[in-house]
Chains A and B, each alone.
Chain A
Amino acid sequence: DAGVTQSPTHLIKTRGQHVTLRCSPISGHKSVSWYQQVLGQGPQFIFQYYEKEERGRGNFPDRFSARQFPNYSSELNVNALLLGDSALYLCASGFGGSPREQFFGPGTRLTVL
């Protein structure tokens, strides 16, 4: 069975640009969460979507947005990139129940120059 997949694996952008990251959950999972992990720190929650609706948002500026599609895949969009947005962006999928059922993808490494 395929796990959570994320694309691209690596990305380099310059300040002010826009980026779109993609996540495909495990088949049958209806919940997708996004996390940002800055080097040397633990992941920080950005968004959760369940059944295509936003269920929660972390303490991130409005430059960050996301959506979930009918097939439960998800996109994370970041506008007006800043140097501080450089991080590993992780996607986790689940049935929507307990954290035990959340499975993380390998992440997208975003570098902003």
Chain B
Amino acid sequence: DAKTTQPPSMDCAEGRAANLPCNHSTISGNEYVYWYRQIHSQGPQYIIHGLKNNETNEMASLIITEDRKSSTLILPHATLRDTAVYYCIVRVDGATNKLIFGTGTLLAVQP
């Protein structure tokens, strides 16, 4: 019941923008979209989240479509250290803040 669909893998050249898509067609009106990433052998790390407006922070930008059925995480200048599995998550349980992870997208940044 991850409620999200992501491509299993993507490649990106170092220094270029990485655009990671996510489909969440059954998202409810009050559900946020969260992005986490997991570098090999580490725990997941929060990146960014949004409801319906585009968001930007020091790590990335999040673009959410007007119908909220999909979103794109943008890493503006990918580095080798950005190689990781990226998870798009729709928070479901407000009482527990339970994160429901899918299988994510393995982003491989190539030199």
**Binary contact readout B7-45 vs A (1 if CB under 8 angstroms, 0 otherwise):** 000000000000000000000000010100000011111
Contact (Cβ within 8 A) A90 B97: no
Question: Considering only CB atoms and an 8 Å cut-off, how many residues of chain B contact the other chain?
Answer: 25
A18 CB-CB contact with B under 8 Å = no
Q: Are B103 and A42 in contact (CB under 8 A)?
A: yes
Segment from B62-70, B73-81, B86-94 that makes contact with A: B86-94
Beyond A42-B2, A42-B104, A56-B93, whether A99 also contacts B99 by CB under 8 A is yes
Chain B's interface: helix, strand, loop or mixed, by majority? loop
Chain A: interface size category: 20 to 34
**Contacts from B to A (Cβ < 8 Å):** 2, 32, 34, 41-46, 49, 85, 87, 89, 91, 93, 95-104
Known contacts A42-B103, A42-B104, A104 near B44 by CB under 8 Å? yes
As a 0/1 sequence over residues 41 to 75 of chain A, the CB contacts with chain B under 8 angstroms (1 = contact) are 11111001000000110100000000000000000
Which of the residues B43, B98, B104 comes within 8 Å of A107, measured between beta carbons? Answer: B43
